[in-house]
Amino acid sequence: MMKPFKIVTLSILSTLLISHSAYADQCSYVEKEQALKAVSFLSLNQQIYLFCEPCGEKVPRSVTIESVAAGTVGYQDFWQVSINGKGVDLAYTYVPSSLEQKPINLAALSGCSAGDVSPFISF
């Protein structure tokens, strides 16, 4: 029989793992149409921002696009957008916007529902 302390500890760890995974890869694997729409907002030499707000990040990371692609991931009918050779999660990717010069969330622009992310970021 498990001691109450072990049960509580296991419960807390399980909750933390589930909570963390709820934020992971919200819009990393998307439908083909969403991936193609996302790529339409990206271009070479464009500056974008990667910012995982639900992960606790405080400052967006600036990235200059050297290459961009969309393709299948080999799992069901899902696709992924790759920037500079790495798959990105659209929920944590922000692109330039003319709206008050604030970068806008790429998942929102692409039609992928993401939780706990700001529609815009400010500096």
Up-side HSE of residue 117: CA atoms within 13 Å toward CB?
A: 29
Q: What is the pLDDT of residue 11?
A: 37
Query: Which has the higher per-residue pLDDT, 5 or 35?
Result: 35
47-98 pLDDT, tens digit per residue, is: 999 999 999 999 999 999 999 999 999 999 999 999 999 999 999 999 999 8
pLDDT of residue 98: 83
Average pLDDT over residues 111-119: 94
pLDDT of residue 2: 52
pLDDT digits 0-9 by tens, 23-42: 468 999 999 999 999 999 99
Contact call for residues 35 and 80 (beta carbons, < 8 A): yes
